Amino acid sequence: MKNKFFGHDFINCNDWSKKELVTAIDVALKLKKKFYLKQPTQYLLHQTLFLLFFFASTRTRTSFEAAMDHLGGNPHDLTVETLQINHGDTSKEIGKILSSYGQGIAIRHCDWKIGNKYINEVANNSNKPVFNMQCDIYHPFQAMADLMTIFEKKGKKLKGKKIVMSWAYAKSYSKPISVPQSFLLLLSLFGADLVLTHPQEFKLMPKIINEIKQNTKTYGGTFEITDNMEEVFDNADVVYPKSWGPLVTTPDQKEGKKIISQYKDWICDEKKMKLTKKDAIYMHCLPADRGVEVTDEVIDGHQSVVYQQAENRLHVQKAILALTMGKDISF
């Protein structure tokens, strides 16, 4: 049977239809079962995926490498320093050349106002699928793993479920806004009651907020924005407190650090978690700044699903790679 997903890029979740995204999650669940049963899944035998990293990675790098191994293919881990990108190779050349050598290109490029543009330029010059492993605007594979985890813990019917995306303090660096943006965009297709809370300087992109609002009108559910972290935890089913930079307010790193330092009390602790429903789950894409972004008691506690989230990166990536790089496969 010819695979209708074959050749499709995956740069932003909302480029795919809701039905297509659900199909991808269903395939991921099947592949996860096969993984535990130790059944072979060599759908991409001898195929090559180039992994191009402009930004450090642990889970993304290792889960993509493992995904291609499990699918029977070959991941080629590339870093900017090992290529000629800093000496003249353009996005056009990367797209045209790497797509002539293999069957897919995956890129992580999070530089503000550069990353997404670069990934799309490569895609426009590639005759093979291009995958966004995170950029300055979107982190689609993380969002899909998040959704898969919520489906596993809360079921697929999310109507009436209160799902909170909250800013949290972290001192490490000014992190991209791509995780909260992709998470809310994807979840807004499923009728949940979404809440976004952050200090005023940590707004998301207006374009993204408008898309989320439009999705809730189309698919049901609600969307609320507040500046009170403790208040929104009340009666929540899912909480996802994480740090991101004030990039919409200012891209200046020094100014951003000063702004971030004002909100050290935005931490996910046991007091806040006690406000949630008894069966609520705590989510985080990792790495988390322990002791400042979240307490050990929460991230290591019974409500935490962070390791299930991390594992599900592997399964959703296997699903999407198999669907888009495998020409004549079915599940």
In the predicted model, is pLDDT for residue 173 greater than 60? Answer: yes
Class of domain 142-309 as given by CATH: alpha beta
pTM of the model: 0.97
Report domain extents, the chain: 13-139+313-325, 142-309
Is the CATH code 3.40.50.1370 the one for domain 13-139+313-325? Answer: yes
pLDDT in tens, 72-88: 999 999 988 888 998 88
Fill in the DSSP letter of residue 205: P
Within 10 angstroms of residue 15's Cβ, the number of other Cβ atoms is: 14
pLDDT in tens, 123-141: 999 999 999 999 999 999 9
Q: How confident is the model at residue 261 (pLDDT cuts 50, 70, 90)?
A: very high
Fill in the DSSP letter of residue 270: H
pLDDT value at residue 238: 98
The answer to whether the 13-139+313-325 and 142-309 domains have the same CATH topology is yes
pLDDT value at residue 330: 72
pLDDT in tens, 270-291: 999 999 999 999 999 999 999 9
pLDDT in tens, 211-240: 999 999 999 999 999 999 999 999 999 999
